[in-house]
């Protein structure tokens, strides 16, 4: 039983980790808690769903045991691009102007407002009912004694690992990635050394939002697509980012896994409805004991 | 005509109940710079505590203690204060966004408890038959509502007067000093954490009071009444009215509540029946737009403080944006 919950936790943790990475990036570089990050996950899931529905007539077949084929891959890419665009538009319309006004916490209120706006736009456009990428029911297969997972779930975990490695290479090997880390460390110093801060802000949104889109699609693939999904996940994302230490990308990944596993293991003791409360309790504990998080550098 | 009049009375009672919540938020945010986005959580704690203490016993359910109105109100205040301490102590020493995240978490957790602890909260069905104070002395509904409105005017007046006294006293000046420059305030021996905690707890107790009055007036509560959108509405009330001004909080409450109910009626009459479900979404988008526009073009609201809130504290890494 425990092994099964552990596996479920890793699958949920993959979505949370990808979402939390984007959150911790924007938190660190743009310096505000972006409550609308969860809505980017929801929009990502719906963008992909639009493509999947549009291709539903095409008999593309499916990849081996997976529940989807090429249209889904196209949907994933489309969703990443569109969600990045959406984040840039929201930034341009709202956050950019508030950054100028220099009232830092206005950004947080605005992000809270933006999250409600974005979520309700989904209800307006796509309706309140839950959606699925595929009507096929996948049979969970035994991969280890006592652990049954579906092929889709394995796909989610594997692709998450790939994305994390790519992100690591991007941040450590490319000029842009290094510039992003420099800006996060010290924006003024980065600017003096010739880094274009505005470009970095844009790229931060692009990276954060496209990771959020993938996280949303993964959650939609393994659970379901709902207008509220991002809002419900936002607590998990913040818990993961704080547990890992705000600004720490590897911390966010680790935090995501821990939060995912802990909330699925909690099902052994509490009703599954309490998963968000478990994530929240972990977060409060971290704030009490080690507010800088596991891998954070210092308390700010 | 009577229909319109009784609707107006009903509208004003609710607006004043929300005004108490906005006043609590104004103490926290307007005067102290505490960023609480779990307002609805404290409101819910007040409402449920009041309901459990004041309602008559129901089969298979905890509570129903039949406490008198005043005592049940006091219980609601104490309970929301305790929850505020639990949230405030771990987070008020840290950077300001952590409080925001913790308050959104406590609001979500309280919503979960309301939905799932059936023996305590009635679960999704909620608690009904919550008593209204002195209701057996009135024969007509309108007469009673007029009494309740008078009571609300008195309560809001007392809360307003009390808050004005507090914020203009040395205590309030310390709050603002800490908000503007904590280092300077601590250099003259003011413990920032302690003052912030006091302000946070008192503000949360006002939100609890608002919830208790709401439960008593509506007579029925269920988890769907305590959605995050309510927090957003209260923020809109405070921002539109002008944070840092108690009068602004009250005026903003009436205005935003008028906008909310008005847009609700409008949406209902415009949208075809098939799209009615989406009406709520249209309303939220509308309020969101108003809030965004006020934030962008009139960040100090209608009656806000002359000085921009916390402008000096801005620690934005990217100032040119």
Predicted TM-score (pTM) of this structure: 0.86
Residue A129 is assigned to a structural domain of this protein: yes
CA–CA min distance A239, chain B (Å): 9
Cβ of A116 within 8 Å of Cβ of B288? The answer is yes
Domain that holds residue A213: 2-289
Chain B nearest-CA distance from A58, in A, is 31
**Per-residue pLDDT at B307:** 52
Q: What are phi and psi of A17, to 5 degrees?
A: -60, -45
Q: Which residues pair with A16 in a beta bridge?
A: none
Minimum distance, in Å, between the CA of residue A88 and any CA atom of chain B: 13
Q: Reduce the DSSP state of residue A38 to 3 states and report it.
A: helix
Of A138-142, A247-251, B203-207, least confident by mean pLDDT is A138-142
Q: Which residue of B has its CA nearest to A111?
A: B292
Residue with more model confidence, B279 or A255: A255
Tell me the percentage of chain B whose pLDDT exceeds 90. 45
C-alpha A68/C-alpha A3 separation (Å) is 27
pLDDT score at B186: 85
State the average pLDDT over residues A216-242. Answer: 90
Contact criterion met (CB < 8 Å) for B321 and A100: yes
The answer as to whether A295 is a domain residue is no
Residue A135: strand, helix, or coil: coil
**Per-residue pLDDT at B202:** 97
Lookup: tokens for B17:
């109940």
**Nearest Cα residue in chain B from A124:** B278
Please tell me the least confidently modeled range out of A67-81, A96-110, A219-233, B78-92. Answer: A96-110
pLDDT exceeds 80 at position B244: yes
The pLDDT value given to residue B150: 96
Query: Nearest-CA distance from A220 to chain B in Å?
Result: 22
DSSP state of B120: H
Looking at residue B204, what is its pLDDT? Answer: 97
Residue pair A113/B274 in contact (Cβ under 8 Å)? The answer is no
- Nearest chain B residue to A198 by CA distance is B321
**Is the pLDDT assigned to residue B297 strictly greater than 70?**
yes
User: Domain with A16 in it: what CATH number?
Assistant: 1.10.3470
Helix axes A2-30, A175-185, angle to 10 degrees: 80
Total domains in the fold of chain A: 1
Residue B80 domain flag: yes
Of all helices (H) and strands (E), which one includes residue A79? Answer: helix A70-90
Residue B310 pLDDT exceeds 80: no
Burial class of residue B160, CB neighbours in 10 A (0-12, 13-18, 19+)? middle
Query: Does B1 reside within a domain?
Result: no
Q: Quick one: which H or E segment has residue A144?
A: strand A141-144
Instruction: Mark yes or no for CB contact A120/B310 under 8 Å.
Output: no
| Interface probe, candidates B38, B123, B295, chain A, greatest A C-beta count within 10 A | B295
B95 contacts A28 by C-beta, under 8 angstroms: no
How many structural domains comprise chain B?
Answer: 1
Domain membership of residue B3 (yes or no) is: no
Give the gap in angstroms from C-alpha A141 to the nearest C-alpha of chain B: 32
Interface test with B, best of A34, A36, A106, A243 (most B CBs within 10 A): A106
- Judge whether A128 is closer than 8 Å to chain B, CB to CB: yes
Classify residue A299: in a domain, yes or no.
Answer: no
Query: Residue B216 pLDDT > 60, yes or no?
Result: yes
Closest by CA position to B289, among listed A153, A120, A35? A120
Please give the backbone phi and psi of residue B304, each rounded to the nearest 5 degrees, phi first. Answer: -70, 170
For position B80, which CATH number holds? 1.10.3470
ipTM (interface predicted TM): 0.80
Closest CA to A16 of A251, A293, A185, A181: A251
The mean pLDDT of B275-294, rounded to a whole number, is 76
Question: B266 and B243 in contact (C-beta within 8 Å)?
Answer: no
For residue A143, give the 3-state DSSP assignment: strand
Which of A109, A121, A271 is the closest to B295 by Cβ? Answer: A109
Residue A299: what pLDDT?
Answer: 42
Searching chain B, which residue's CA lies closest to the CA of residue A187?
B317
How confident is the model at residue B120, as a pLDDT? 84
The answer to whether A133 contacts chain B (CB < 8 Å) is: no
Question: What pLDDT is attached to residue B33?
Answer: 86
Nearest Cβ partner of B292 from A94, A242, A277?
Answer: A94
Q: Which residue has the higher pLDDT, B189 or A216?
A: A216
H/E element holding A57? none
Q: Which helix (H) or strand (E) holds B313?
A: none
Report CB contact under 8 Å: B33, A35.
no
Inter-chain residue contact A291 with B94, CB threshold 8 Å: yes
The answer, yes or no, to whether residue B309 has pLDDT greater than 50, is no
A219 domain-assigned: yes
Work out the pLDDT band at A55, boundaries 50, 70, 90: confident
How close is the nearest chain A Cα to the Cα of B203, in Å?
18
Domain with B24, as residue range(s), is 9-318
Residue B2 lies in a domain: no
The answer to whether residues A300 and B315 touch, using CB atoms and an 8 Å cutoff, is no
pLDDT tens by residue, B150-199: 999 999 999 999 999 999 999 999 998 888 888 888 888 888 899 999 99
Chain A residues within an 8 Å CB radius of B115? 273
């Amino acid at each position: 039983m425990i092994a099964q919950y552990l596996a479920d936790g890793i699958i949920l943790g993959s979505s949370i980790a990808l979402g939390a990475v984007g959150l911790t990036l924007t938190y660190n570089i743009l310096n505000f808690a972006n409550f609308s990050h969860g809505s980017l996950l929801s929009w990502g899931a719906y963008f992909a769903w639009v493509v999947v529905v549009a291709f539903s007539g095409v008999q593309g077949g499916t990849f081996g045991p997976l529940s989807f084929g090429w249209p889904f891959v196209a949907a994933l890419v489309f969703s990443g691009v569109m969600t990045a665009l959406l984040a840039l538009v929201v930034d341009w319309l709202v956050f950019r102007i508030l950054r100028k006004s220099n009232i830092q916490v206005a950004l947080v209120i605005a992000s809270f407002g933006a999250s409600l706006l974005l979520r309700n736009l989904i209800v307006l456009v796509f309706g309140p009912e839950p959606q699925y990428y595929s009507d096929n029911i996948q049979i969970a297969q035994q991969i280890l004694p006592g652990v049954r997972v579906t092929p889709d779930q394995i796909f989610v975990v594997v692709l998450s690992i790939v994305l994390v490695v790519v992100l690591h290479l991007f941040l450590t090997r490319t000029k842009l990635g290094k510039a992003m880390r420099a800006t996060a460390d010290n924006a003024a110093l980065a600017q003096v050394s010739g880094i274009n801060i505005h470009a970095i802000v844009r790229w931060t949104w692009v990276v954060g939002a496209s990771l959020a889109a993938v996280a949303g699609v993964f959650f939609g693939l393994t659970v379901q697509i709902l207008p509220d999904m991002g809002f419900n996940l936002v607590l998990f994302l913040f818990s993961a980012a704080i547990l890992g230490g705000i600004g720490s990308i590897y911390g966010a990944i680790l935090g995501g896994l821990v939060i995912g596993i802990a909330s699925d293991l909690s099902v052994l003791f509490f009703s599954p409805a309490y998963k968000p409360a478990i994530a929240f309790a972990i977060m409060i504990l971290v704030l009490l004991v080690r507010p800088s998080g596991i891998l954070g550098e210092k308390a700010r | 005509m009577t229909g319109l009049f009784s609707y107006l009375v009903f509208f004003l009672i609710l607006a004043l109940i929300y005004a108490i919540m906005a006043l609590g938020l104004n103490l926290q945010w307007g005067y102290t710079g505490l960023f609480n986005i779990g307002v609805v959580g404290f409101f819910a704690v007040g409402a449920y505590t009041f309901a459990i203490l004041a309602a008559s016993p129901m089969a298979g359910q905890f509570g129903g203690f039949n406490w008198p109105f005043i005592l049940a109100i006091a219980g609601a205040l104490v309970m929301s204060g305790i929850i505020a301490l639990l949230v405030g102590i771990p987070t008020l020493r840290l950077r300001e966004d952590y409080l925001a995240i913790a308050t959104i978490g406590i609001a979500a957790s309280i919503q979960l408890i309301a939905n799932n602890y059936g023996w305590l909260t009635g679960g999704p069905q909620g608690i009904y038959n919550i008593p209204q104070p002195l209701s057996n002395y009135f024969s007509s509904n309108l007469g009673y509502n007029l009494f309740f409105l008078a009571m609300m005017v008195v309560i809001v007046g007392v809360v307003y007067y009390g808050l004005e006294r507090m914020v203009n006293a040395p205590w309030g000046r310390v709050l603002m000093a800490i908000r503007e420059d904590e280092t300077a305030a601590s250099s003259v021996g003011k413990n920032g954490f302690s003052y912030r905690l006091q302000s946070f707890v008192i503000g949360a107790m006002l939100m609890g009071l608002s919830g208790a009055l709401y439960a008593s007036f509506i007579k029925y509560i269920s988890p769907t009444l305590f959605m995050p959108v309510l927090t957003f509405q209260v923020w809109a009330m405070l921002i539109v009215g002008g944070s840092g001004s108690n009068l602004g909080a009250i005026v903003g409450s009436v205005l935003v509540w008028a906008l909310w109910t008005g847009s609700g009626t409008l949406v209902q009459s415009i949208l075809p029946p098939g799209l009615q479900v989406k009406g709520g979404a249209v309303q939220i988008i509308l309020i969101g737009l108003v809030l965004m526009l006020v934030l962008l073009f009139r960040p100090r609201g209608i009656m806000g403080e002359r000085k921009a809130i916390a402008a000096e504290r801005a620690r934005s890494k990217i100032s040119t944006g």
